[in-house]
Amino acid sequence: MFKQTYENLIEIVKKNSKEKLEFERSEGIEYSIFNYPVSKLLGLENHRDFIKESYYKVLDRPVDEQNLEILFLQLDSGGVSREIILNSLIDSTEAKGKKTKIDWES
């Protein structure tokens, strides 16, 4: 029920906005950004979805296009792992002020 409500709200906002807006995926929306399960992020099939969701869950904001492309190319080439990207986001100065947390146990 919550997932459908969220998706409906996204559609309403997108229809009424002149700008291109990005939103978190509805899968996993029921989890708190203060203790989000890592399995939900690591389980995303698409690298771009993983990067976008990681930014939302760790930094509580959308990823900019430049970083999305850089991180995608690094993941796609095998140069870095998803865990390394998550840890770099978590250890960033920006994340420390957000109080978000990834639950590595789940």
Q: 100 pLDDT exceeds 60? A: yes
CA distances from 72 to 4, 18, 24, 30, 93 (A): 29, 27, 17, 26, 22
> Please, what is the average pLDDT of the chain?
82
H helix runs in the chain, sequence order: 2-15, 38-42, 47-54, 65-77, 82-90, 93-96
How many domains are contained in the chain?
1
Q: Is residue 8 part of a domain?
A: no
Question: In terms of residue numbers, what domain contains 70?
Answer: 36-106
State residue 81's pLDDT score.
Answer: 97
- The per-residue pLDDT for range 1-16, each reduced to its tens digit, is 666 776 776 677 677 7
Q: Is residue 24 part of a domain?
A: no
28, amino acid identity: G
- The per-residue pLDDT for range 64-84, each reduced to its tens digit, is 999 999 999 999 999 999 999
